[in-house]
Amino acid sequence: MGFFKKLKERLFTLKVDEKKEQKNKISKENKKTSKVSDSRPSSVKAKEIKLEKKIEKEKLKRRKKEKKIDKYVAGLEKSGSSFSQRIKEIQSKHNEIDEDFFEELEEILIMSDISVELVVDIIDAIKREVKIENVSDPKLIAEIIADKMFTVYANKSVVDTTLNYEDKRLNIFLMVGVNGAGKTTTIAKIANSYIKEGKKVLIAAGDTFRAGAVEQLAVWADRVGCDIVKPVKSSADPASVVFDALLKAKENNYDLLIIDTAGRLQNKVNLMKELEKINKIIQREIPEAPHESLLVLDATTGQNGVSQAISFKEVTPLSGIVLTKMDGTSKGGIVLTIKEKLELSVKLLGLGEGLDDLQEFDLDAFIYGMTKGLMDESR
């Protein structure tokens, strides 16, 4: 027990308080010194300046973290409130934790788009914990549910959410996904985040198949202040666009090249050939690239999105998932299912329509957003 408390500590506790304590110690030293002399030693002054900088740095980190958590809570409002409400309903309905209770809990987890296999693992883990802790009151089980959702996900394999981006090299991100999943806006949001960090970003408009795709991407590129390489003529070979973009990126010292691709999954043979050709051209210029091959999925499609992901994984190597439109679904469990079914980490979550609403996936913040209603109830 105590999972909610530990989760909040991981999310909200930073080292600012520690630094304040150190500052108080230095202040006491100053008072002692001032009794002997009016002027403080330069070493003490230097310590204070260094400490002030550290405190400001930690405060900035805290503000960023709080902003991210706020986005998770807002973006997961539908999923979190729906999930929490259903748990509360079965807690009120049952007087004890028995097989009937677990059957209804199992149904809630499945309705949240968590795969049946993963639900079985979570329920088994909850049952073991209930037995060990000798818990019989349904009102006390919310914390165990959140704990097991976290540990079952984290224990499946290493949770890697960082994008493979390095300074002092040309980074290549290849974006794949069906039309309508939010690939275009995702590319713009990724570009925007790196531009805000002072990076030089180029986009390759490689989706020459869908009518209007290039123009749509160009509008977003202009909006975020990003350069773009477009096909010379409509229906051009996507590989030629990628080749031109690679040359421009290398010649002009770009930090990041983001490559858009067609999403015609209904014709997997053509898509496979196209992506194979693009990958060969990339690797001919930069052997270790692409550094990321990200599949963009629409969270509102639920299990259909998982089927799409499996199909794309058969067509091309993938390094991670971008899950868009999380704010539009009441079934947040899809995040857990993707990891279990595909053995791929969700690296980015779309938590809103704003340019800064694409957030790095944070398991702590995700579980917090999904179960905040239960935490508030258990206070």
Domain CATH code at residue 253: 3.40.50.300
Do 64 and 87 belong to one domain? Answer: no
In the chain, how many domains are there? Answer: 3
Query: Do 222 and 197 meet the contact criterion of CB atoms below 8 Å apart?
Result: no
Mark which of 75, 92, 111 sits at the end of a domain: 75
Tell me the three state secondary structure of residue 5. helix
Do 211 and 263 belong to one domain? Answer: yes
What would the two tokens of residue 26 be? 């230095």
Do 147 and 65 belong to one domain? Answer: no
79 or 38, greater pLDDT: 79
Tell me which DSSP letter residue 39 carries.
Answer: S
Range from 26-40, 247-261, 317-331 that averages highest in pLDDT: 247-261
Q: Residue 10: give the domain boundaries.
A: 3-75
* Residue 16 pLDDT class (50, 70, 90 cuts): very low
Mark which of 75, 92, 123 sits at the end of a domain: 75
Residue 41 in domain: yes
180 or 196, greater pLDDT: 196
- The answer to which of 103-112, 151-160, 166-175, 318-327 has the lowest mean pLDDT is 151-160
Residues 6+ apart with CB under 8 A from 85: 373
Query: Do 318 and 279 meet the contact criterion of CB atoms below 8 Å apart?
Result: no
Residue 37: exposed, middle, or buried by beta-carbon count in 10 A (0-12, 13-18, 19+)? exposed
Do 29 and 101 belong to one domain? Answer: no
Question: Which pTM does this prediction carry?
Answer: 0.82
Residue 110 in domain: yes
Do 348 and 237 belong to one domain? Answer: yes
pLDDT over 90 at 310, yes or no: no
Structure confidence by residue, pLDDT tens digits, 119-161 = 999 999 999 999 998 888 888 888 888 888 888 777 755 566 8
- The answer to which of 43-47, 225-229, 246-250 has the lowest mean pLDDT is 43-47
Do 112 and 185 belong to one domain? Answer: no
Distance CA 118, CA 215 (A): 42
Distance CA 44, CA 137 (A): 57
- Provide mean pLDDT across the span 237-244: 91
